[in-house]
Every structure is written in C-alpha cells, then in structure tokens.
Structure 1
C-alpha cells in the first residue's frame, strides 16, 4: 500500500510539473489560442450546417468555415485598420505642425469660463495659461507619438502579429474539425458528475457567444454612430474618433461618453452652442440608448449577470489581460457565479452524506449501529 501510494504521489507531481511546463511554453501564444477557441465556438453553428450539407466531410467543412470568417470579418477589419493608420498619420502630422493644438483649445475653454469659476481654478494654480499650455502640448505630443507608433506597428504588420494570426487560423481549423472529440475528451477527464460538467460547459459557451457578439455589436454600433456625428459636425479625424469610441464602448455604461463628452463641453464653452447641444442630445439619446437597450439584451440576458458585474469584470479583465480581457473577465465572472450557485446544493448533499454515515455507524438516534 505504501509503495502504491508513493507511486500515486510521484505520478501526481509529474503530472502537475509537466502541465505547468506545457502551459509556460504556450503562454507567449495564449492570445492566439484563446481567440481560436472563441472563434471556434462562434463558428460552431456554421460548421454543423456545413457538415450536414457536405455529408460529414470534416476537413472541407472546417476549411469553408475558416474562409467564411476571413471574408466576413478578417479582411474588412484589415481594410478599416489600413484606413485608420492613414488617418491617424494625418492627424499626427497636424499635431506636430501645430494645426491641432490642445493647449490653445484649453486656453479657449479657460477664457470662456465665468469669473467665479476662474477664481476657483486660480486657487488651485490652474490659471497659468502658458504653463498649462506647454504641459498640455507636451502631453498631447507624447500621447500622439505613442498612439502613432502603435498604429504604425499594427499597420506594418510585424512578424509577431503575422505569427499570431497564422497560429490562430491554424488552430481554428483543427478546433472546428476536431472540436466535438476534444470537448468530449476534456469533459471525460474533469472529475465532476455529468450534469455539472454539461452545465458548466454550456455556460462557458453561452458567455463566450454573448460577450463577443454582444459587446462587439454594441461597440461597433456606437462607434459608427459617433463617427458619423463627428463627421457631420466637421470634426477632424472622424474615423479615428469612431475607432476610439468603438474601443471605449467595450466598457459598459461609460465607454463612448469619455470621447464625445469632452468634445461637447469644448463646443459649449467656446460658443458653438448648437454643436455642443446637438452632440450631447445625440450622445445621450442615441449613442447611450444603444448601450442601454442592446447590451442588456445581447449580453446580460444570456450571461444572466447584473450590469454592475459585467462592468466590473470587464474593467478587471482589461486591466489584467489587456484587450483580451473584455471576454476573459466576464467569462471568469460567469463561471464563478455558476460554480458558486452549486455551493448550496453541494453543501446540502455533503451534510446528507455525513448524516447517512453517522446513521450507519451509530444508528439513526445514536443508540448503536444499525448494521
């Protein structure tokens, strides 16, 4: 018995060590692996339909599913990214030449403020226009350089980006072709009862679909609406602002307002009242309405999570995992809630099990064993 226990412990140690080493090897490509898994879940209905049409020819169905993803999603995103790089470069050039000067804009805002507010700002040392202008100009220049470098890095498509995309598409093919068998093997290896495993896997897939499709739909809609309004108002770099609003809209409730809100405030304090009022009304009742209506329907309803949990898990996921976190954060939160909901039932079952053992050992009333 001691020898068998020792063998079991050595095996567990070896299994844990090898698993950690394997995870360490895959860590540099976790983003590509994660998104291949996400896309496989999203493309699974299409894969099943193609299998029926093609009489269970897995390889051909998987290839067609990958091609459908490339045509419908990936290639349009590349075109948008190319246009964004071009427009971002133009905006960066205007900032370097002084055509766009945030220090001047801030000076215009301060000069338009009422006297009591200007005195209040003076107490905090915010009345020194020249210092603030130079500080804002320097900060804006540094920020623009950082943004431009990032955009140019993406636009030039570095080797790492190409490798990640290649790995993602390669894994997507195999996840679509062998996904059912892999899921069955993973399910069988998890030491839980069949019902719990089915519920957790179903919850995982549901949250993935709801988070990706819901958040991306809401973000793209808000970004497009905001960019259209910026173009209508004659704001330079409308596409760049649209993309920024799309990214910020991944944050529930407060996302797009962080972009159009300061612009509307600038319009109001500089005398462009109708532009400011129009942008505020449009932002609150059009862009904000999209968030308030679509997000609960597309995200909260399927994930069965409150809005504040979605917000906090999204913010936490973005801070920990970067852009991938807008999916990973809500998935972790949903799995936690699904697992925690089992605690009451599990605790009751454990107490019943202990009671049965007690009755078997001491009898139902503690008067002696019943067998």
Structure 2
C-alpha cells in the first residue's frame, strides 16, 4: 500500500467518523426510515408498474412513493402518534402514583392468602418511574423527546421517500463497491433481506398484532391504563405462547379479586380462545422459515434497543441483531467453502 492509498484510507476513516457524529442524534430515525422503506418497497414496485402505463417512469416512481408515504401517515403514523401520546400520559400518571387500579383490594387479597403486606402501589410507581427514566431520561425529558421525535419523524419521511426512489440504485452500488467476491456479496444481501423481513414481519408485526388484540380484550373488560399495558404486551409478546399472558392473565385475576367476576372470566376465556390463537396461527403463517432467529435473541434486541435509543429501539434493536446474524452466517458458509 503506497502513501496515496494510506492517506485516502485515513481520510475515509476520518470523514466516516465525522458523518457518524453528525447523524448519531437521529440514528434511530434513519434506521427506522430504512425499515419502513424496506416494508413499503414491494408495494412501491407494484404501484409503480401500474402508474407507468399512464405517466412517465420517473414521475410514476415519485407519485408511487408519495402515495405510499401519505397512506403510511394516515394508516400508521397518526394512529401511532396518538397511541404514543396516550402511552406517555398513562406512564407518567403511573410514575406519579396514579394507577387507577384498586391497589387496596389486591393488597388485601394477598394479605389474606399469604399474611404478607406488599406495597403494590409503590411497586407500580417505581416501575413507572424506571420506565420514564429509561425511555425519556426522566420527567423533564418527555417534552424534549417529543420535540426531537417530531423533527426525527419529519426527517424519516423524507428519507423514506428518497430510499424508495433510489434504494435499488444504492443496493447496486453496494454490490459493485463491496470488496467481497460478487457471489459472497450477493449471498450477504439476500440473507440480510430474508433476515430483516423475517424479523420485522414474522416477529415484530405478529407481536404488535397480538398486543392489539389483547389490548382490545383489556379495554372491553374494563382494565385501566389499557394503552400502557398494551405496550407492555407488545414487548412481552415477542416471547411465543406465554409473553402476553404475563399481562392478561394477572389482569383477569385482578378483575376477579375486585368482584368483577364476569369481566374476569370473559378476559380469561378471550385470552385462551383469541389472544393465544393469534400467536399459534399468525406467527407460523407469516414468519419466513429462512429467518431462523431464536425469539430470546429478538427479545434481547428489543430490550437493548429500547434502553439504547429509546422507544424506536423496539424495532431497531432486533433488526441490528438480525443483520449481524446474517453477516455471521454468510461468513461461516461462504468463507468455509472458499
């Protein structure tokens, strides 16, 4: 390696570090925009083919991207923003000690059964405070997080648009620029594609679907702070079979304890007959069987992502681990064969 090549590599390293420093405050939104564009791209490709029959190719791509982004805003982002607002409201209320749960009845029942007098209200308040600290950096960080999320969301929508338009060209550039052999590069890109789709659709989407179905049951049964508990179930539902049960099971028992036996029995039957069936049937139906990631690894990515980058880490963490798994698998198979 001559002096010119060494200087160029050094310059590339310095510029790469400066670039990382610049985008680091919004790194989670950059990754989230890439994930959303990845999910929307198959629809973008189909819609573009239809629009090309009526308008020019470039205008068809632009119109398709704008249509999908507007549809995502109406169908996903606005409902998600509302749910996030309600979640923050409920979480801050729990952290302040206002749980809307009949804590006295629970403590009395536990005392009658065990002779112990646990402070359930204090435990819930501590959990709420810890979540506020982890997700937002404390009560003072809630407003800062909201402002930062608004800016980040605007940035993400622009990135989704340009990723849909220029994404294929970027993938071609990666294939052409990669120092790996072309066969290894193609294998790596395919594995990342399969792994990402398996993680996003097969695990996260199913967990969100199960949490929404379970949250509907909690709402019908009259459980307070439904949005907060739905968020908790969205995380726990990444564990197959038993994840969401850790919320709706105790919720059904709570209703029986506070003399709402009919609602408690309804929630228990609904949990077994409906919530559990979502996991049993939806997960095998949508998971890409080529994406062999242990659910425990997915859960680790969720908790690590939330702790590292906040709320959006729910999606970002598992994707990062999935890409790492795809890279390791490519190295093991392709370089063992070379």
Normalised to the residue count of structure 2, the TM-score between the two structures is 0.78
Equivalences for residues 252-291 of structure 1 within 5 A: 252-270=240-258, 272-291=260-279
Could you tell me which of 339, 350, 367 is aligned with 2:328?
339
1:317–1:329 Cα contact (<8 Å) kept? yes
Which runs of 5 or more residues in structure 1 are unaligned?
119-126, 350-371
Q: Secondary structure at the match of 2:287?
A: helix
Partner of 1:71: 71
Q: What is the match of residue 153 of structure 2?
A: 165
Alpha-carbon distance change, 245 to 74 in structure 1, aligned in 2, over 3 angstroms = farther
The correspondence of residues 284-323 of structure 1 with structure 2, limited to 5 A, is 284-299=272-287, 301-322=289-310, 323=312
CA apart distance, 1:71: 2.1
Matched with 2:172 is 184
1:68-99: CA deviation from partner (whole Å, max 9, x where unpaired): 23324555542454366468758977997979
Cα distance in 2 between the residues matched to 1:144 and 1:29: 21
| CA spacing shift, 1:137–1:206, aligned 2, 3 Å | closer
Q: How does 1:221-240 map to 2 (within 5 A)?
A: 221-240=209-228
SS at match of 1:192: coil
Aligned: 1:220 with 2:217: no
> Could you say what secondary structure the match of 2:2 adopts?
helix
> 2:8 aligns to what?
11
Deviates more, 1:257-266 or 1:195-204: 257-266
CA gap 1:194/1:63 in 2 versus in 1, 3 angstroms: same
The question of whether the paired residues in 1 share the 8 Å contact of 2:305 and 2:317 is answered with: yes
Q: Which residue of 1 aligns with 2:32?
A: 35
**Higher Cα Rg: structure 1 or 2?**
1
Which of 222, 230, 233 is matched with 1:245 structurally?
233
1:58 maps to: 58
Q: How many residue pairs get matched?
A: 332
Give the whole-Å Cα distance in 2 for the aligned partners of 1:311 and 1:97. 28
Measured at CA, do residues 327 and 255 of structure 1 come closer, stay the same or move farther in structure 2, by a change above 3 Å? farther
- 1:204 — aligned with what? 192
Q: How does 1:102-113 map to 2 (within 5 A)?
A: 103-113=103-113
C-alpha displacement of 1:191 = 0.8
TM-aligned CA distance change 1:64 to 1:139, over 3 Å: same
Higher mean C-alpha deviation, range 290-299 or range 135-144: 135-144
1:131-170 alignment runs, 5 A limit:
132=119, 135-136=122-123, 139=126, 142=129, 153=142, 158-170=146-158
- Closer, same or farther: CA 163–292 of 1 in aligned 2, 3 Å: same
Secondary structure of 1:303's aligned partner:
coil
In structure 2, the partner of 1:26 is 23
- Cα pair distance change 1:253/1:214, threshold 3 Å: same
Q: Give 1:236 shift.
A: 3.2
Q: What is the DSSP-based 3-state SS (H/G/I as helix, E as strand, rest coil) of the residue aligned with 2:172?
A: helix
The CA distance in 2 between the partners of 1:266 and 1:161, in whole Å, is 35
Relative to structure 1, the CA distance from residue 87 to residue 169 in structure 2 (aligned partners, 3 Å threshold; closer, same or farther) is closer
The gaps in structure 2 that reach 5 residues or longer are: none
